[in-house]
Every structure is written in C-alpha cells, then in structure tokens.
C-alpha cells in the first residue's frame, strides 16, 4: 500500500467537501513564511513525507507559531529533524492555520469480509489507553453517525462536562457521514485516519489526514 501525499489527500478532502483549515505546502523557509503571512497566525508546520507516518515522534510538527521569523525557523528545524530518518523522502512542509478545541478521531479501515468499517473516538488517552471507540460498517445515515458519537464514554466531554467547551456534535456527524460516502465510492482507499479532528462549539475541522491506497488510479 502507499500513503497519499498532502496534495493528493487534500484533493480528495475537497472532492467530498470535508472541512479542513487553510493549508499549503512550502518548499523553502521563505515560502513557509509567505504562506504563514497569507494564512494568518497562529499556524502549525508539519512534515509531508510518505516515509514518516508519526510526524510528532520525529520532531516533524511545530505548533503555535506566531510570526514569519518563527515560521522560517520552524521550517528549517523540521527539515533538520526529518534528515535524521534514513532515506526518508520529503515532499515539503505543510503550513496550516492552527485550530483550537477538543481532539477527536475519525477513521476507516476496509475489511475483506465486511467492507469499510468506520471508527470514532476522542483523541489522546481515550483511544490509546482506554480504547473508547465506536464502530459501524458503511454506508450509514446521520442517526447512526450520531449514535457512534454518543455511545463512547468520552461523549460527556463533548457535551461540555466539567467546564469544557460544548462541541458541535452535528459537525462531527457530518464528517463521519462524508467519510461513509467516500469509503463506498473510493474503493482503492484501504485506510483513512483523520487524527485529529479539532471540534469546538462552532465547527469541526480535519487538521491531519492520512490515506492509504492499494493502487493509484
């Protein structure tokens, strides 16, 4: 299988009208600075490489950048960090508008017997340690998408428990629904991870997306 590049992934997100923050690929520190100035601060810079899946683990992500000077420095630092990964191919550095809110995860894995299985959960320890996730087989309707969200234990956090900001549940359900449609139509895509999706009281946006294909048409 092959990891799609940022440009290829963005094209598919746009095709299915998936919400994502303003994002562009920079090929130099000067370009990173120009893009950041255009998008508006704060921004986050992330490595785009088919050989680096877990960007944060290799120092491939620098967040909360608030000036052009810092954007240029972050570009060079990420390139240096990625250079420590032997034979890693680098497409460039993604410059993205920074989003604030609660992190959730939406994903899909194509099963040979059952078809595309959709997954939803809250980010961080809720997925990694508590395994607090819900599943459905695509296609699903909006009621099923809402059920997926409500049945995880972390749902109370999305409702605004303990003083946290109430999340836009309909916006999350909309992303799950669109992923369901994508999974049915794009049969060459075997796995998708939207991790994280940042949700707040107004909206939900996919800030990092990974797609794996069997072959590219």
Q: Give the pLDDT band (50/70/90) at residue 198.
A: very high
Q: Give the pLDDT band (50/70/90) at residue 76.
A: very high
What pLDDT sits at residue 164? Answer: 77
Q: Give the pLDDT band (50/70/90) at residue 123.
A: confident
Cα–Cα nearest to 27, from 83, 62, 72, 61 = 72
CA angle 144, 148, 153 (to 5 degrees): 150
Instruction: Identify the DSSP state of 149.
Output: H
Cα–Cα nearest to 64, from 45, 47, 94, 43 = 43
pTM of the model: 0.90
Least confident of 31-35, 114-118, 131-135: 131-135
Which is higher by pLDDT, 103 or 127? Answer: 103
Q: What is the mean pLDDT of residues 169-185?
A: 98
pLDDT tops 90 at residue 137: yes
Cα–Cα nearest to 118, from 210, 184, 171, 214 = 184
What pLDDT sits at residue 215? Answer: 63
- Residue 211: CB atoms within 10 A of its CB come to 22
What pLDDT sits at residue 189? Answer: 96
CB-CB contact of 20 with 10 (8 Å): yes
What pLDDT sits at residue 160? Answer: 87
Which is higher by pLDDT, 12 or 154? Answer: 12
pLDDT tops 60 at residue 217: no
């Amino acid at each position: 299988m092959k990891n799609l590049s940022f440009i290829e992934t963005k094209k598919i997100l746009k095709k299915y009208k998936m919400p994502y923050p303003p994002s562009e690929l920079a090929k130099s520190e000067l370009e990173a600075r120009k893009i950041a100035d255009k998008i508006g601060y704060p921004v986050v810079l992330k490595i785009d490489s088919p050989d680096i899946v877990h960007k944060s683990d290799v120092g491939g992500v620098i967040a909360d950048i608030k000036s052009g000077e810092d954007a240029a420095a972050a570009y060079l630092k990420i390139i240096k960090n990625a250079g420590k990964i032997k034979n890693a191919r680098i497409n460039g550095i993604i410059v993205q508008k920074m989003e604030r809110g609660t992190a959730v995860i939406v994903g899909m894995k194509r099963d040979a017997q059952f078809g595309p299985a959709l997954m939803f959960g809250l980010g961080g320890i809720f997925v990694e340690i508590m395994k607090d996730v819900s599943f459905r087989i695509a296609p699903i309707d909006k009621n099923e998408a809402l059920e997926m969200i409500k049945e995880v234990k972390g749902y109370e956090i999305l409702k605004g428990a303990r003083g946290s900001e109430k999340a836009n549940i309909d916006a999350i359900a909309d992303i799950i629904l669109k992923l369901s449609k994508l999974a049915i139509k794009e049969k060459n895509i075997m796995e998708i991870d939207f991790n994280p999706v940042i949700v707040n009281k107004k909206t939900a946006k996919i800030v990092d997306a990974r797609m794996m294909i069997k072959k590219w048409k």
